[in-house]
A and B are shown apart, each in its own frame.
Chain A
Amino acid sequence: GNSVTQMEGPVTLSEEAFLTINCTYTATGYPSLFWYVQYPGEGLQLLLKATKADDKGSNKGFEATYRKETTSFHLEKGSVQVSDSAVYFCALSARGNAGKSTFGDGTTLTVKP
């Protein structure tokens, strides 16, 4: 079946540090890949997505590239801010799976001033 494995947290960084959160997946076919973010007390919201190999999704300074050869979709940001403190979820949506998404366990990021 489909699965998503993401880097265990929690992750604590200082402001302006570089962020990487690793995500690898297992799926049949060619899924779409997503990063969702959950700020404290809120539901999840889409951060970025990529729908085919070598696509790069980007938003709010975050980037992730769909790497088919390594089945990975790592999230990166060059300079994090305190406001980026949240839980980050990697997810996939496999074609032919009726639109269901499979999520990783989430990585909690705390950015200290």
Chain B
Amino acid sequence: GQNIDQPTEMTATEGAIVQINCTYQTSGFNGLFWYQQHAGEAPTFLSYNVLDGLEEKGRFSSFLSRSKGYSYLLLKELQMKDSASYLCAVREDTDKLIFGTGTRLQVFP
């Protein structure tokens, strides 16, 4: 079957670095996405990985290992506004994007 696992909640301190892990088991793989969702708002696209390795975009980086079924989202220089849920999603087939339950990150001063 299909399964995407992420930690339910994480906490971190302003200015710190946090790594949110995602493991997946799906019947197919056509890319992995990370989305950010603030409470009461739409999810917004953060990053996309289809090949192994690290993709860097400002304070955010995302890593993928297809052989291990593993990805992480790295957030540097944390700010209070980074408090949100972070959703890992795997494109299993061309028209099927499967989401994890999301990791709720709280950043404290």
Whether A and B are associated in the same complex: the answer reads no
Q: Which residues of A contact B (CB under 8 A)?
A: none
